[in-house]
A and B are shown apart, each in its own frame.
Chain A
């Protein structure tokens, strides 16, 4: 049953409509044929009283305590007073009966049984009067027709009313089922005030199964008892909080330790009326324990990363220091005095030293990347890339294709990641291309749905020697060097694996395609943001890759 479709306000509206039609009909009846305007005025006054009654019935509940008792008193007082008035102005008996019926009609608005009785009474009293009156037959047919319409309306209203009450029953049944079987413990309570008007205790009116499970107590041992009777160790804190909920009409959600349950509980309390409040409890002890374990795990992971980086820095420095000394010494050796095979050995040693130093530099860069703090600021991508290209010393012709949007629109982006990776890709392309062209294409990925980010696509293609599958397979492996010229890079450059790692830490990526002997294309992707972002550098980002891979 779609119980939510039925509203008590709709029923009241129908009642009001019914009464208004009735009054209208009766007033016409009298004004047209008896020319007795007194009765018309009184009937109209009754109609106004009826409407006021409806309004009070609809809204009075919110403002007037015991409004139904008060309303009954007003209506019966009006009945007596108006009956007296009718007698004083020497109304006919028929009119008097009609007035009384109308007064009953007002009351019937709020009472289903009275309404039904009134409807039947009206028909029983008015139809014979009309039938016996001196009106001609056509008028009688009109009046009786109107009365039949009223009866139909009455029937529809009663039917609606039946469905409404059935809906209430269904709703109550569902609500009871939901609350009774809810995972959250539930309790309906009523505050108890002391002599000073302060909340000193509260009585438990209703609970559900989850509450029984949480407390380990049965319903029978809890209901209609005060909280101090059931839970003697209840802290004053809870009484104070619940008092605020009821007296101030606030909803509150708090997490606190409950001694009686020996558990951490999340409590949501909200007011029901001026004395009662509902409380929903959730045992969050396990959640807090999981959260604590998670926090501990993150701390351990962060500490281990810090320790690892510290270790790498330390090793780096210890290796670098003697190596630097040796490299310095080698500069002082007069190469010209070394001849033949010894010269070859010397040069090989010098090269390997340089190689060792570069590996150490790579470790240093690796540690830097691990600790990089991503900062997003607004830049024009095209301007940044143009500046990087201008700083590169190269003889190659560079063909650029740039999407118009990239030329004109600034975005929030990680500048250092974009520029350093782009610079590395360009340097790499220049190294592998001898006086041939390099293609740079800057584009934006098409979006299928609205998003706060778009993806920047930059491809750098060189027409050098290309790479076979073996090289491609390992090209993004940390410290894998094979025979790449890039391993003998200058200090300020970063390796391709590090480029990939940097891009990944920003939500981008780096991929490569190559045809041996023809062309190699690196494609980098990087998210661009329309608005300011505050990225959180997560453990997942940090732990990608290992130098021991």
Chain B
């Protein structure tokens, strides 16, 4: 499984990388802009991500904007690709942000601190890891 993690906080980044690396190869970036760049590269190389974890509050381009851009890129890609499963991760727990993320096309939403048992359950429900 190809995984992209966008997270600005060092500790959270390390944690996500450590936790998800057991399920596949992880690319880790620090903001939304870098995440978009990697998505474009991956599509060009025809080696697209199966899972993208986006933090909401990130510098340069935040998670919601990055999500929207990634979904647009996927739609306009020259080669047919299977869209990534995108899970938003954030400490924000307000309903409006959650709704906004779902409106932009995310598959799931995980509040920090990430509970790995719950996160595993989400990955299973998205058919990213076997039950």
- The reply to whether B91 and A326 form a contact with Cβ atoms under 8 Å apart is no
- The reply to whether B112 and A328 form a contact with Cβ atoms under 8 Å apart is yes
Instruction: Confirm or deny: B15 has a beta carbon within 8 angstroms of a beta carbon on chain A.
Output: yes
Residues of B1-40 whose CB lies within 8 A of A? 9-16, 18-19
Nearest A residue to B8, CB-CB: A321
Q: How far does the Cβ of B83 sit from chain A's closest Cβ, in whole Å?
A: 27
- The reply to whether B116 and A321 form a contact with Cβ atoms under 8 Å apart is no
> Can you list 24 pairs linking A and B with CB atoms under 8 Å apart?
A317-B57, A321-B9, A321-B12, A321-B112, A322-B10, A322-B12, A324-B9, A324-B11, A324-B12, A324-B91, A325-B11, A325-B13, A325-B14, A328-B16, A328-B19, A328-B113, A329-B11, A329-B14, A329-B18, A331-B19, A331-B114, A331-B115, A331-B116, A332-B15
Q: How far does the Cβ of B59 sit from chain A's closest Cβ, in whole Å?
A: 13
In Å, the complex CA distance between A292 and B93 comes to 40
Instruction: Confirm or deny: A491 has a beta carbon within 8 angstroms of a beta carbon on chain B.
Output: yes
- The reply to whether B115 and A326 form a contact with Cβ atoms under 8 Å apart is no
Nearest B residue to A316, CB-CB: B91
Interchain CB contact (< 8 A) of A329 among B15, B57, B91: B15
Nearest B residue to A360, CB-CB: B91
**A328 / chain B contacts, CB cutoff of 8 Å:** 11-12, 15-16, 19, 112-114, 116
Residues of B within 8 A of A (CB): 9-16, 18-19, 57, 91, 93, 112-116
Instruction: Confirm or deny: A327 has a beta carbon within 8 angstroms of a beta carbon on chain B.
Output: yes
Q: Which size bracket describes the interface of A in this complex?
A: 10 to 19
**A317 / chain B contacts, CB cutoff of 8 Å:** 57, 91
Instruction: Confirm or deny: A209 has a beta carbon within 8 angstroms of a beta carbon on chain B.
Output: no
Nearest B residue to A322, CB-CB: B11
Nearest B residue to A329, CB-CB: B15
- The reply to whether B10 and A325 form a contact with Cβ atoms under 8 Å apart is yes
Inter-chain pairs besides A321-B11, A321-B91, A328-B12, 7 sampled, C-beta below 8 Å: A321-B9, A325-B10, A328-B11, A329-B15, A331-B19, A331-B115, A357-B113
Listed from nearest, the 9 A-B pairs whose CB atoms lie closest are: A325-B11, A327-B113, A324-B112, A328-B15, A325-B12, A324-B113, A321-B9, A320-B91, A329-B15
Nearest A residue to B11, CB-CB: A325
